[in-house]
Amino acid sequence: MTWSSSEQAAIRQDIFAWLERQEVEYGGYEFTRDFLRTGYSYNGQTIALMDRQNGIWNPRGFDATLSITKTLRTQYADDVDGAVQKYSYERLPDRPLLSGRNLKLRVAAVLGEPLILFQEILPTLYLPRYPIYIVSDDPEAGYVQVVLDESMRLFNDPLELTAQQRQYAERVVKVRLHQKSFRSRVLHAYEAKCAVCTLAHPELLDAAHITFDSHANSTTAVNNGLSLCKIHHSAYDRRIIGIDGNYMVHVREDVLAEVDGPMLQYGLQAMAGRILHVPRRVQERPDSQRLHDRFTAFTA
């Protein structure tokens, strides 16, 4: 099967739209390799979105690379969260650097094709980032550099950001990328259930921060998160419900005294006194001190 270049461009856009639907419409918060290899089809034909084992994926019939994968083993703490990331060519013993899968990666660089970066966030679970673009290709050193956001391509030189551009890039990375990865890790830890009511619809779940994101001592560790449905997330942020350091749910007194329909009665009032549903792994459970600090603000 070969695709014309305009078909290839259409397929890429269709894949991005498909990934977005998985994330938004179906609440997708984690993608397995198996799903990414078999879940997507175009005009009835399945097109894998990542390779079975390699990092660079060039689907049959494509002129340029479609996706690159950073595994837990190959990503380095210092560049994973950066706005510009390095990605090494595939290195095989007895093969020149400029051969094999690397060739189509270089084509993607020349054509400026939008790609997907799959980042392994937990063993065999991947977070897609798209579209990403290659902004430099160094065949001597054997790596490309990619920007994780389309807007950054418009900078004169994405590799030499001005102070203002760097600030912008950091904000983009924080908002688009860190939050997405936080949600994935938190929902995974809670098996995609609301910690308060155990509602199990990922499309209705958020990862709430216990210590607000804007606080200096906030963190994106799972134990600063709670998987909450939209109602309980808003109710927690608006101090309609509070959660103490022993994981017990409290409902504000004036709300407990109200008389109204089933959402108030079952959705809020009935939650008073419940104990949070928490992750199985102890280190992923909500930090009691952080909960307590938030609870102090609730009772104030």
Interface pick for Zn ion out of 189, 196, 207, 268 (rule CB under 5 A):
196
Interface pick for Zn ion out of 19, 36, 173, 197 (rule CB under 5 A):
197
Q: Is 64 exposed, middle or buried (0-12, 13-18, 19+ CB in 10 A)?
A: buried
Residue 202, both tokens: 């990922």
Candidates 138, 41, 47; CA nearest to 89 is 138
Interface pick for Zn ion out of 104, 193, 232, 285 (rule CB under 5 A):
232
How far apart are the C-alpha atoms of 106 and 89, rounded to whole Å?
9
Asked if 229 touches Zn ion (CB under 5 A), the answer is: yes
Residue 217, both tokens: 């001592």
Min separation Cβ 252 and Zn ion, Å:
16
How far apart are the C-alpha atoms of 205 and 18, rounded to whole Å?
20
Asked if 249 touches Zn ion (CB under 5 A), the answer is: no
Nearer to Zn ion, 188 or 233 (CB): 233
Asked if 144 touches Zn ion (CB under 5 A), the answer is: no
How far apart are the C-alpha atoms of 36 and 33, rounded to whole Å?
5
Question: In 10 A of CB 284, how many CB atoms?
Answer: 17
Question: Among 16-24, 38-46, 87-95, 224-232, which window interacts with Zn ion (CB under 5 A)?
Answer: 224-232
Question: Among 25-33, 120-128, 191-199, 248-256, which window interacts with Zn ion (CB under 5 A)?
Answer: 191-199
Asked if 12 touches Zn ion (CB under 5 A), the answer is: no
How far apart are the C-alpha atoms of 286 and 252, rounded to whole Å?
21
Asked if 187 touches Zn ion (CB under 5 A), the answer is: no
Min separation Cβ 270 and Zn ion, Å:
11
The residues of the shown chain that bind Zn ion, judged by CB under 5 A, are 194, 196-197, 199, 229, 232
